[in-house]
Chains A and B, each alone.
Chain A
Amino acid sequence: MAQLEAQKKLKIILENYFVGMKAPVAWCTSAGPAEILRALGFEVYFPENHGAMLGATRLAGKYIPKAHRAGFSGEICSYLTADIGAWLMKETPLTNAYGLKSIPKPDMIVFNTNQCREVAEWFNFYGREFNCPVVGIYPPRYLEDVSKSDIDNVVAQFKEVISVGENVLGKKLDPHELEKVVALSYEGTQLWKQVLDTARKKPSPLSFFDGTILMAPIVMLRGTKICVDFYKETLSELEELAKTQQEDSNQLRLYWEGMPIWGRLRSMAQFFNDNNSVVVASTYCNSWIFDDFNPKNPLESMASAYTKIFINRGENTKLAYMEKMLNDFDIDGIIFHDAKTCFNNSNNRFGLPKRLKDSTRIDTLTIDGDLNDLRFFSDGQTQTKLETFLEQLKSKKRISV
Chain B
Amino acid sequence: MEYTLGIDVGSSFIKIALIEYSDNPKIIEITNEKIRKRNPTILINKAVNDLLERHNLKYEELLYVASTGEGELVERKRGHFYSMTTHAKGAFHFHPETKTVVDMGALFCRVMSLESGSRVKNYAMTGQCASGSGQFLENITRYLGVTIDEVGPLSLESKEPAKLSGICAVLAETDVINMVSQGIATSDIIKGIHESIARRIVSLLSKLKVESPVALSGGMSQDVGLVEVIKQLADERNLSLEIFATKNCYANGAIGAALWGGYRHYKLLEVAQ
Q: Which residues of A contact B (CB under 8 A)?
A: 368, 378, 380-381, 384-385, 387-388, 390-392, 395, 401
Contact = CB atoms under 8 A, between A and B. Distances in A.
A378 B85 CA distance: 24
Contacts of A381: 107-108, 128
Interface residues on B, range: 10 to 19
Contacts of A385: 125
Interface of B: 11, 81-85, 107-108, 110, 119-120, 122-123, 125, 127-128
A395 B128 contact: no
A392 B120 contact: yes
Residue among A368, A387, A388 with the most chain B CB within 10 A? A388
Nearest to A340: B128
B83 A387 contact: yes
The B interface is mostly helix, strand or loop, or mixed, namely mixed
25 contacts: A368-B127, A368-B128, A378-B128, A380-B11, A381-B107, A384-B107, A384-B108, A385-B125, A387-B83, A388-B82, A388-B84, A388-B110, A388-B123, A388-B125, A391-B82, A391-B84, A391-B85, A392-B84, A392-B120, A392-B122, A392-B123, A395-B119, A395-B120, A401-B81, A401-B82
Nearest to A395: B120
Contacts, number: 35
A158 to B, nearest CB: 42
Nearest to A366: B127
A395 B110 CA distance: 17
A388 B107 CA distance: 13
Contacts of A390: 82
Nearest to A392: B123
A387 B82 contact: yes
A122 B225 CA distance: 52
A401 B81 CA distance: 6
A384 B10 CA distance: 11
The 4 closest A-B pairs by CB, nearest first: A391-B82, A368-B128, A401-B82, A391-B84
Contacts of A395: 85, 119-120
Contacts of B83: 387-388, 391
A387 B85 CA distance: 11
A380 B125 CA distance: 14
